[in-house]
Chains A and B, each alone.
Chain A
Amino acid sequence: MARIGVFVCHCGENIGRTVDCAAVAETLAGHPGVAHAEDYKYMCSDPGQALIKRAIIDKRLTGVVVAACSPHMHEKTFRRAASQAGLNPFMCEMANIREHCSWIHEDRDAATAKAIDTARTIVEKVKHNEPLQTIHIPVTKRALVIGGGIAGIQAALDIADGGHEVVLVEKDPSIGGHMAQLSETFPTLDCSQCILTPRMVEAYQHPNIKLMTWSEVEAVDGYIGNFTVTVRKKARSVDADVCNGCGDCLAACPNRRTPSEFDAGLGTRSAIYVPFPQAVPNTPVIDRANCGRFKAIAKGIKKEVCGKCAEACLKGAIDFTQQDELVTEEVGAIVVATGYQLYSIGRAQPEGLTGYGEYGYGEIPDVIDGLQFERLASASGPTAGELRRPSDGKVPQTVVFVHCVGSRDPEKGMAYCSKICCMYNAKHAMLYRHKVHDGRAVLFYMDVRAAGKGYDEFTRRAVEEDGAEYLRGRVSRLYRDGDVIKVVGYDTLAHEPVEIDADMVVLATAIRPQPGIKQLAQTLSVSYDEHGFINEAHPKLRPVETNTAGVYVAGACQAPRDIPDSVAMASAAAAKVLGLFSVAELEREPAVAAVNETTCVGCLTCQRVCPYGAVEAKEIRDRDGNVVRTVASINPGVCQGCGTCQAVCMSKSIELATFTDAEMYSEIEALAFWP
């Protein structure tokens, strides 16, 4: 028989002014199952809590209902008090008679009647409450970082420096990401590779970092603290343990015409290649799509073709028979740092985007995007840092930079601001003027957004010291006219159309998440927005967590980010991971669902509706090991307690602790006491 104590709080005058608290206590005292009821001025105060503890002991209470404020306010307080008096904390519940009653009603009789109803409803629920135990989950203190750009490197280094092992997975042959492609960085104009490559080497040599380049995450199972990750190590065709990175194979390769991804298509590379000279690791990869030997194999030619790289390799590291390898890693936390790509704005567009055909990208060779300009300006680039345009190698005398190509344009591109373009356009104009002193840099802009430390000063410097010409307005069309590109636009400050003869045009195209991000997000069960950027758990208060516990996000895969932002996010994510690893075991509220395996019919509707993938099919076998039937099984570590599975369960075989059917229906029934 339930022995429930009801404690009605006046909250000073907050409740007492509108609700007759003594009457509430008196009425509830006569309710079946209530062994004790009293009212008090401030239940949450020390004497108030002492009153509850005393009653639990003296009256041997089996449950407690505190009729006071919202459970969001003081549920923890009262549960702790109950537990100090020896009662299971989950046998204590709150009836909200302040926010939902005394504060929103004026009529004292009506408010008192409602308070009585509310308290009685919760009393009926507590009669069906079960004592529950906090769930303890072990933590594997090892992290996975997906993406080896600056965000991934930073996160990996921070976690590794904190004393925990990190697996850093990168899909390209080298870590470094987009930052390795940049010439100089705003707002300091320091050389990008000079600050990045030492960090790359540090990550490579760190005893706690296991680097897996030319690898991709294939599958993720498990939950916070206990993920099992399958990584596909793509066949490199080079034995990384034997190779000493001498580069003889690269020189021997007869194919030299493959467009270089690292040079954004402006330079070429061999079929066996390292993306750039400072690559980490400095182990080549054979690009099988462009290698003569593998092309011949694909065509079914039996004879062994070429093999010049293998002949050149004195260490015998080339292995044409290498296969993709699947590696399993156990980790407790995952940081997603997959970065961005640029919106390719040519005419052919996937995903229903219309592109910017009128800008001639991909058709006029001297219309390039921001990353291509970075390579042209970079000392390690295809022109060795001399600014020469791609079509004929001429030094451009007039360069037009176009802001917001595909950004802030919900009609044709992306509705969002790509954030970094204003800064890198100013930087490009400066770099250009530093290299071509008599050249003209014209920038078509919508606004100049330079919010950041030293950023506004930087864009002003571009105008005041380096003579960048800012024109407010949009470019309507680009076309080739002999040797020049006609740029047709409108100056919205002077209110006149403008036409500029440019030698080269640089389009600041929108930042988009990497292709394949949606598939990765689904593999990780994290949500993404309409553009494919990973959603953070809360835009202000939980910026580096995702809605899946144990999975964190850093850098431009969450939204357009510059380097300082990406690094800050990466360190924040690493701090979250280290925080997770600092406890021996995770504690969780036991509000999770469980399946009654004797009544479950195995329809697995629950599996289809579970947003967390917490439901698995479980086979019930007889003594001989034959499968008798299949039932659903819920992993309490993954379940977040929404109860959607219980509502769809046709055989009523699922119960969500703290919101069981018995509890819910007893609450509904309690309202039938209405006069």
Chain B
Amino acid sequence: MSGDGHADEFEPRITAFVCNWCTYTGADLAGTSRLHMASNVRIIRVPCTGRIDPLFIVKAFERGADGVIVSGCHPADCHYTAGNYHARRRFALFRELAAFVGIDPGRMTFSWVSASEGAKWRDVVNDTVARVRALGPFDEYRRLVDLPDASGESYATIEGLLGRTAP
């Protein structure tokens, strides 16, 4: 896979959970408007940000994502009246928990993108890709569960863990 950067640059993998009514439609608008953006993001559609279980994010990281985007309707604009408020509270807490267990909060973007904000969606995508690219690959989890990293090196030894302690 290659993004829009240099060939030798790290290309992060980013999973985006977006609501059907605002951000998914906003991303459609970005397409209709031919707004070019980094190709590192894979979109998973949910009906509402309220549907997003924080475990979705954990699972995405576990399965190799370097970053996650969660985006839905602006406050007061939720198609389902209040789902985004539940999501907002959930992620305010989850961000802290993630930081505690060693996932850099910079790997996660929570944003509101409405159906008319194609350009904002492009910015959210590009900003997140740039930020996660600067953070490097997310392999803290791989180290813990003894999966080889990109170079094939295993971290399952004490030295491996000590040598590259999670931030």
Contact = CB atoms under 8 A, between A and B. Distances in A.
Contacts of A658: 47
Interface string B24-37: 11011111101111
Contacts of A121: 42, 44
A118 B39 CA distance: 12
Contact of B31 (A99, A106, A109, A609): A99
B133 to A, nearest CB: 15
B3 interface: yes
Interface in B53-105: 53, 56, 59-60, 63-65, 79-83, 86, 90
A609 B49 CA distance: 13
A300 interface: no
Contacts of A640: 80
Contacts of A114: 1, 39, 42
B64 A100 contact: no
Nearest to A608: B86
Nearest to A105: B39
B108 interface: no
Size class of A's contact patch?
35 or more
B42 A117 contact: yes
B114 to A, nearest CB: 13
Among B4, B35, B47, B79, residue most surrounded by chain A Cβ atoms (within 10 Å): B47
Interface string A640-656: 11111011100000001
A2 interface: no
A56 B8 CA distance: 44
A107 to B, nearest CB: 6
A195 interface: no
A664 interface: yes
Interface in A515-573: 527, 547
Contacts of A99: 27-32
A668 B50 contact: no
Given A99-B28, A648-B86, A527 B56 contact: no
A667 interface: yes
B47 A591 contact: yes
A96 B44 CA distance: 10
A668 B81 contact: no
Contact of B32 (A71, A103, A113, A659): A103
B4 to A, nearest CB: 7
A71 B46 CA distance: 13
Contact of A647 (B36, B81, B86): B86
Given A100-B43, A643-B47, A668 B60 contact: yes
Contacts of A641: 47
A104 B34 contact: yes
B48 interface: yes
Interface residues of B, number: 44
Contacts of A100: 27-28, 31, 43
Contacts of B1: 110, 113-114, 674-675
A350 B82 CA distance: 28
A207 B28 CA distance: 52
B47 A671 contact: no
A107 B27 contact: no
Interface in A26-78: 70-72
A637 B32 CA distance: 35
Interface string A476-495: 00000000000000000000
Contacts of B80: 611-612, 640, 642, 644
A71 B32 CA distance: 14
B51 A642 contact: yes
Contacts of B122: 104
Contacts of A472: none
A644 B83 contact: yes
Interface in B1-30: 1-4, 13, 15, 24-25, 27-30
A642 B83 contact: yes
A187 B166 CA distance: 75
A656 B1 CA distance: 34
A436 B39 CA distance: 76
A646 B4 CA distance: 37
B90 A72 contact: no
A628 interface: no
A106 B32 contact: no
A291 B47 CA distance: 57
B86 A103 contact: no
Given A648-B86, A668-B15, A674 B34 contact: no
Contacts of A665: 56, 59
Contacts of A345: none
Contact of B86 (A98, A118, A644, A669): A644
Given A611-B81, A644-B86, A647-B86, A104 B59 contact: no
A668 B59 contact: yes
A1 interface: no
A286 interface: no
Interface string A87-109: 00000000010111101111101
Contacts of A289: none
B132 interface: no
Interface of B: 1-4, 13, 15, 24-25, 27-32, 34-37, 39, 42-48, 50-53, 56, 59-60, 63-65, 79-83, 86, 90, 122
21 contacts: A71-B45, A99-B31, A100-B28, A103-B31, A104-B31, A105-B36, A105-B39, A107-B3, A547-B81, A643-B46, A643-B47, A644-B48, A644-B82, A644-B83, A656-B51, A668-B15, A668-B56, A668-B63, A671-B64, A672-B63, A674-B64
Given A111-B39, A591-B47, A642-B80, 6 more contacts: A100-B31, A105-B4, A640-B80, A643-B48, A659-B51, A671-B64
